[in-house]
Amino acid sequence: MQLRLSDSDLAFRDQVRAFLSRALPADLRDKVLLEQRLSRDDLARWHRILDDQAWAAPAWPVKWGGTGWTGLQQNIFREEMAAAFAPEPLVQNINLAGPLIANFGNEAQKAFFLPAVRRLDIWFSQGFSEPGAGSDLASLRTRARLEGDRYVVDGQKIWSTDAQLSDWMFCLVRTAQEARPQKGLTFLLIDMRTPGITVRPIPTIDGDHYLNEVFFDGVEVPADNLLGEEGRGWDYARSLLAHERIGIARTALTRRRLRRARHLAEQIEAQGDGLAARDFRLRIAALEVELRALEMTALRAIQADGTGGPDPSVLKLKGTELQQASTELLVELGGPLAMVRQTEWLLGEREHSLAPTDTAAATATYFQLRAASIYGGSNEIQRNILARKLLAN
């Protein structure tokens, strides 16, 4: 693995930095800096800026708005976005719905959805987990029966991120009862304005609302909204989950948090507490070594593109552990200031911070990321997947 950037990659990095310096709105940067939740309008504005540059969906097929960048260039882009405090593109649109439709949708679906998904004119949510089907996704019970030219959907989904804001849901449903639970699953694209859909909020420990329960009561979905082939949903879901697990590693954000932790440790040392600073520096260094190894593994996975590279389960497992460790470290370093949730006052006036912005919403983020080792397939499941593959060889 090449660790040193080539001249062309360095030039690409400079191009990304120049674009972000020029195009990133200051108000969006400040919200990301202070770990504030962005509104739909905020995210849509940034998506459109990226799309006007043809950079909104780097990993997509070039025909549908992808950049054709190498895996290393995509990684550079993510790192520079995080370092500049640019908003992350909406995961359920760019990392999930877009690749799902681009890979398995028909031409009419691609033409209708993909441009709007890139620009956030359409906001997608994910319909996977159910009260009795989380990491054991194949046991899902939401049913869809074909009646003439439409499917009728009954059931319930849970933990659906931003379903209260979404226009559409890519939803995994059961269309047939087979001996193996993985059989008989199908993807439908469901308009969230359809009668019979009820969305209920699930408050979270960090004080925010982004998770939801979604109920389907006789919801009629046109048969044209079938994604791919009926009964192939499990195959499509596995492909999507592998893609999601690479993204869940979120190495660029962890690096940004460790950079903040290092800055806080320097402040502690400057205040005369050298012993505490030394302890924190050692912990930061250990996490940075682990993160660097994970970044190289993620890069190999991107470059392999499903042809024998590292298992995505490794990235999900280690990536979420590092996210949790880095946020725990920020909470310890921040002390009482890490408890602040409304962080606007930290900036003060005239760009003079009243307190270190490195601690912004650290405790809320720590609480939120306790779930990182569960969503996308729990880390226990990932260990089982890896163990089975190792024992099979």
- Statement to judge: residues 311 and 262 lie in one domain: yes
Residue 217: give the domain boundaries.
124-231
Does this model's pTM top 0.95? no
Is position 359 within any domain? yes
The residue out of 89, 115, 147 marking a domain boundary is 89
pLDDT band at residue 350 under the 50/70/90 scheme: very low
Q: Do residues 146 and 45 both lie within one domain?
A: no
Kindly report the CATH number assigned to the domain that includes residue 203: 2.40.110.10
**Partners of 52 in beta bridges:** none
Distance CA 32, CA 208 (A): 16
Q: From CA 331, how far away is CA 366, in angstroms rounded?
A: 7
**To which residue do tokens 């979420």 refer?**
320
Tell me: do 255 and 371 sit in the same domain.
yes
CA distance 325 to 323: 6
Could you tell me if residue 104 is inside a domain?
no
Q: How far apart are CA 364 and CA 280, in angstroms?
A: 21
Q: Are residues 157 and 278 in the same domain?
A: no
| 263 and 320, same domain (yes or no) | yes
Together in a domain, 293 and 374 = yes
Same domain, 292 and 217: no
Residue type, position 36, single letter: Q
Which of 43, 63, 89 delimits the end of a domain?
89
Beta strands in the chain (DSSP E): 124-127, 143-147, 150-157, 168-174, 185-191, 197-202, 211-222, 226-227
pLDDT band at 156 (very low <50, low <70, confident <90, very high): very high
Q: What is the pLDDT of residues 271-329, one digit of tens each?
A: 877 777 889 999 999 999 999 999 888 877 766 655 555 678 888 899 999 999 999 99
What is the band of 133 on the pLDDT scale with cuts at 50, 70, 90?
Answer: confident
Residue 18 Ramachandran class (φ > 0 left, ψ -120 to 50 alpha, else beta): alpha
204 & 287 share domain: no
- Tell me: the pLDDT tens digits for 225-261? 999 999 999 999 988 876 666 667 889 999 999 999 9
Q: Give the chain's domain count.
A: 3
Lowest-confidence segment of 71-80, 346-355, 381-390 by average pLDDT: 346-355
**Distance from C-alpha of 340 to C-alpha of 334, rounded to nearest angstrom:** 10
Pairing of strands 168-174, 124-127: parallel
Contact yes or no for 325/349 (Cβ under 8 A): no
The CA angle 339-344-346, to the nearest 5 degrees, is 65
Tell me which of 168, 199, 231 is where a domain ends: 231
Residues 83, 166, single domain; the answer is: no
CATH number at residue 269: 1.20.140.10
